[in-house]
Amino acid sequence: MPRPRNLYRVLAALAALAAILVSVISVVSEPQPTSASTETSTPAERAGDSNALAERGRYLALAANCASCHSRPGGAPFSGGVAFETPVGTIYSSNITPDAEHGIGKWTLQDLRRALHEGISAKGYRLFPAFPYTSFTKITDQDVSAIYAYLRTVTADTYSPPTNGILFEQRWAMAIWNRLFFRPGRFVPDPTRPAQWNTGAYLVEALGHCDACHTPRNSFMAEVEARAYQGGSISERVDGEKMRLWSAVNLTSSPSGLKAWSEADLAKYFHAGFSLRGGTFGPMNEVIANSTSQLTDSDVHAMAAYIKSLPQGEAAGTPVTAESVAAGAAIYHERCEKCHGSSGRGGMFMGPPLAGSAVVQAEDPASLINAVLYGAAPPKGTSLGAWETMRPYADVLSDSQAADVANYVRGTWGNHASRVDAAMVGKQR
């Protein structure tokens, strides 16, 4: 599951909310909510060991990309321990194998439903929205049953993730945050839309939780609904355990988003990590490798159809000046033109197009800066991707030079994006 940016800001924001605690004290002291589900389980669901149900759950866990957050490098699948680095400490993902002591072996189906639908653990404490229950609340009761059945079949592991810092034990304010920003409820199909669109909406909004990374957040780290899917910022690894900021692109069909992408382009990208419009690198490597590449053709096409239907959203910003564009022209011609072309349209299997690129034009230039400094490569050990791996230039270009070439591509070929400065590049090193 992709990881939302700067969890420490959540903690700071929650602390600020304490000022309104007196006026909403009833919220904090209210009884813990119980699941709103009234579903009657079938015999196969109650048994929990139906092969068909577990296989359905395995597929749903792929669609939800559970492995990326709950499987640390070198560790057993789903045994947790993936570190989320923040300036105020480290929080680790939990062990979700069926080990009774260290995992969720004692959890009931109702416990899992409560965690996914309400953000409350089996022990009754509230979860942080770094776990995207704000999206998972839309997963149907039947699909939660299937996921539960699958998790009961994975190999139990006794690994115990490191203890989180004391700041991550302060969960009382989440009651206030949830009242202000959390809207629980299952996905409801739109009867005016075709079945493919509804399937795509369910995969994107609920299981895939794409909004968690691709929607900007307010000062309390809640998603800004008015700008849904218009691009966000996250923290992820560049290499090893180093953490850097990344930008998640605008998924709407705005000129700075996916306007140039067709449904076929998107579907191919989800399956192969490559299309004529771009290739996977950075945080999307985990999403493609651990999730979308393993989904059916019909499901990735449904996701593409839904994403292409999103209302166009464009962030207001001051475009890079002609002077800043000119400063990076020579660097581009020397370092980049061979693969990306003088027209910015890319070259066959050499480099993806930069003209109209959502990464190039992102409101937050972090991913573009990372590509310049660290290169861009598909997931290691896979056959995903078809573009030539981009070499890193961190040891070749200074901060100002990297900013100059970024400004050149952000302001050329009709691209419309704001200026990058040397300080932004310096933060990414």
Query: Domain 229-428 is of which CATH architecture?
Result: Orthogonal Bundle (1.10)
In this predicted structure, which of 27-31, 36-40, 68-72 has the lowest mean pLDDT? 27-31
Mean pLDDT score of the chain? 88
Q: What is the pLDDT of residues 99-155, one digit of tens each?
A: 999 999 999 999 999 999 999 999 999 998 889 999 999 999 999 999 999 999 999
In what helix (H) or strand (E) does residue 242 lie, and over which residues does it extend?
A: none
pLDDT at residue 16 tops 70: no
Beta-strand runs (E) in 294-405: none
User: What percentage of the chain has pLDDT greater than the value 70?
Assistant: 86
Tokens of 328: 């990076």
Q: What is the DSSP letter of 279?
A: E
CB–CB of 313/259 below 8 Å? no
Q: d(Cα 413, Cα 415) in Å, to the nearest integer?
A: 6
Contacts of 141 (CB under 8 A, 6+ apart): 37, 39, 113, 186
Q: What is the pLDDT of residue 86?
A: 57
Q: What is the pLDDT of residues 368-396, one digit of tens each?
A: 999 999 999 999 889 898 888 999 999 99
Q: Among 175, 245, 213, which residue's Cα sits nearest to residue 68?
A: 213
Query: What number of other Cβ atoms are within 10 A of residue 112's Cβ?
Result: 19
Q: What is the pLDDT of residue 41?
A: 59
Q: d(Cα 183, Cα 177) in Å, to the nearest integer?
A: 11
Which class for 92: exposed (0-12), middle (13-18), buried (19 or more C-beta within 10 A)?
Answer: middle
pLDDT at residue 213 tops 50: yes
Q: What is the pLDDT of residue 360?
A: 98
Tokens of 337: 């033109």
Q: What is the pLDDT of residue 398?
A: 98
Read off the pLDDT of each residue in 207-227 and give the average, rounded to a whole number.
Answer: 94
Query: What number of other Cβ atoms are within 10 A of residue 22's Cβ?
Result: 7
Q: How far apart are the first and last CA of the chain?
A: 25
pLDDT at residue 5 tops 50: no
State the span(s) of the chain assigned CATH 1.10.760.10. Answer: 229-428
91 bridge partner residues: 84
Read off the pLDDT of each residue in 152-172 and give the average, rounded to a whole number.
Answer: 87
Q: What is the pLDDT of residue 416?
A: 93
The better pLDDT of the pair 221, 210 is held by: 210
